[in-house]
């Protein structure tokens, strides 16, 4: 599987064609497809989690943001936390 991905092929077709299909659909219909990029999630995680919450129809309230709820969600979703590597 790994070699196929590195070569651009996965079991349901060429990887880049598959990805491009989602990208094009996200441009056509932003209400049904949210295209998130790793680089933006890494550099602007608060903005991206807000974008995701809006897309899912459950945006954070001002009070939740002021009380640090967004940061708490980001912490709960962090790779170290999800992998069980934190204390």
| β-sheet bridge partners, residue 10 | 13
- Indicate if 9 and 26 belong to the same structural domain: yes
pLDDT of 29 reads 87
- Using an 8 Å Cβ cutoff, are 70 and 49 in contact? yes
Domain count, the chain: 2
Pick from 86, 64, 60: which is nearest to 75 by CA? Answer: 86
**8 and 40 fall within a common domain:** no
Q: Is the domain of 79 the same as that of 42?
A: yes
User: pTM of whole model > 0.95?
Assistant: no
Domain residues for the domain of 9 are 1-31
Contact by Cβ (8 Å): 70, 54: no
Over residues 4-49, the pLDDT tens digits come to: 767 767 777 777 787 888 889 888 988 888 988 899 999 999 999 9
């Amino acid at each position: 599987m790994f070699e196929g991905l590195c070569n651009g092929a996965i079991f349901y077709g060429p990887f880049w064609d598959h990805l491009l299909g989602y990208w094009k659909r996200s441009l056509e219909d932003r209400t049904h497809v949210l295209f998130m990029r790793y680089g933006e999630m890494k550099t602007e995680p608060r903005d991206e989690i807000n974008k995701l919450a809006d897309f899912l129809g459950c945006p954070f309230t001002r009070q939740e943001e002021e009380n640090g709820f967004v940061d708490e969600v980001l912490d709960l979703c962090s790779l170290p936390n999800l992998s069980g590597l934190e204390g």
